[in-house]
């Protein structure tokens, strides 16, 4: 420590260690000093000060971080970075979300975008892996209304995409109509993020509207619509199967086949068909084999029991004899040039 004090260009270490220690101690009263340290000449000190502010989470420091975020955009201040500022602010949680309202309404599109990303991260952290719902207690009515009206129609598509993800958590009768509108947004990535948000049990009544997205011109949207429908279990899967049977789009059909394999549905389809099952599943199996996608079942047939394999092929063969031959196990015929097996001579050591 004495060496650090004696060498001028190492003085920043003292400032950095001091900022770090204040964060480790959760010293609430030190937040103004840490905010001031965000203007330190040394980048390491600025970075440590921001981390300490995130650790302490002094309520009044959140407003200071909002101001800093504005400066990062308006004055192009590079350090602390916008990403680090967003992460630090998100850690304050939804209790401070209402303070973002002026930023969410800011005329500068980039500031609105950064503010909405902070709010989304707050909600994401609160949600965790549970079936989380945003209630009026967790999100103020003013903020909810802002999401459902202004931000869902923002000129910046990044803002609309983030907003869709948040609206999907809301326990509000206005949420579903707004999400269905965003599922038809001009920007494909907004449609993708909306469909991801719709993969929640509360949106089960809107399977038909999600189904319509299977015909989207953008493959990423179709892929997300498939995954969202499959997440609803049998009801959603039926929509995917029906689209597969009526679609003339080869790319769309291939996406569905890959999704069927990825979701582990190919094995259940095979077993259902082999045991004489009918309905959509039977038609899907025959359509998959009929268009030549035999690899969907070939590997599983090899590892299946001989009885199951035989029942599957016997039922399929009359319908699609030409395609079924590619699923038949190869018959190994003996080489006529081999007339006898000669034992390899070897000697046993005494």
Pick out the chain residues at pLDDT < 50: 1-8, 331-332, 350
Instruction: Confirm if 281 and 237 have CB atoms less than 8 A apart.
Output: no
pLDDT at 5: 44
Look at the chain and count its residues. Answer: 350
Residue 333 pLDDT: 53
Rounded CA-CA distance 14/48 in Å is 12
**Contacts of 94 by beta carbon, 8 Å cutoff, 6+ apart:** 122, 123, 126, 138, 139
Please give the pLDDT value at position 320.
Answer: 87
Per-residue burial over 81-106, b if 16 or more Cβ lie within 10 Å, else e, is: ebebbbbbbbbbebebbebbeebbeb
Enter the DSSP assignment of 29. G
Determine the pLDDT at residue 50: 94
Confidence at residue 299, expressed as pLDDT on a 0 to 100 scale: 87
Which one, of 179, 180, 192, lies nearest residue 219 by Cα?
Answer: 192
- Confirm if 291 and 253 have CB atoms less than 8 A apart: yes
Cα–Cα distance for residue pair 53/35, rounded to 1 Å: 8
Burial (0-12, 13-18, 19+ Cβ within 10 Å), 290: middle
């Amino acid at each position: 420590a004495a060496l650090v004090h004696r060498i001028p260009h190492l003085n920043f270490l003292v400032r950095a260690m001091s900022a770090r220690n204040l964060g480790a101690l959760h010293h609430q009263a030190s937040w103004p000093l840490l905010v001031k340290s965000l203007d330190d000449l040394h980048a390491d000190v600025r970075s440590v000060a921001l981390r300490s502010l995130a650790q302490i989470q002094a309520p009044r420091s959140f407003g200071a971080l909002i101001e800093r975020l504005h400066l990062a955009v308006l004055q192009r201040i590079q350090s602390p970075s916008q990403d680090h500022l967003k992460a630090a602010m998100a850690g304050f949680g939804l209790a401070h979300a209402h303070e973002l309202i002026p930023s969410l309404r800011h005329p500068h599109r980039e500031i609105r975008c950064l503010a909405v990303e902070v709010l989304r991260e707050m909600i994401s952290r609160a949600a965790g892996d549970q079936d989380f719902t945003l209630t009026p207690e967790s999100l103020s009515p003013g903020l909810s209304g802002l999401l459902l009206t202004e931000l869902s129609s923002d000129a910046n598509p990044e803002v609309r995409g983030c907003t869709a993800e948040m609206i999907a958590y809301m326990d509000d009768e206005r949420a579903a109509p707004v999400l269905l509108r965003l599922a038809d947004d001009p920007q494909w990535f907004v449609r993708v993020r909306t469909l991801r948000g719709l993969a929640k049990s509360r949106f089960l009544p809107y399977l038909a509207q999600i189904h319509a997205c299977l015909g989207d011109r953008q493959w990423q949207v179709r892929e997300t619509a498939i995954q969202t429908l499959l997440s609803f279990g049998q009801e959603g899967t039926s929509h995917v199967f029906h689209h597969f049977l009526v679609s003339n789009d080869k790319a769309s059909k291939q996406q569905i086949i890959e999704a069927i394999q990825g979701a582990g549905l190919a094995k259940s389809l095979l077993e259902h068909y082999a045991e004489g099952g009918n309905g959509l599943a039977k038609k899907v199996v025959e359509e998959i084999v009929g268009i030549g996608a035999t690899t969907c079942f070939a590997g599983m047939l090899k590892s299946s029991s001989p009885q199951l394999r035989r029942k599957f092929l016997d039922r399929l063969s009359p319908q699609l004899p030409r395609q079924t031959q590619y699923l038949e196990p190869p018959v190994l015929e003996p080489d006529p040039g081999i007339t006898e097996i000669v034992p390899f001579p070897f000697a046993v050591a005494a």
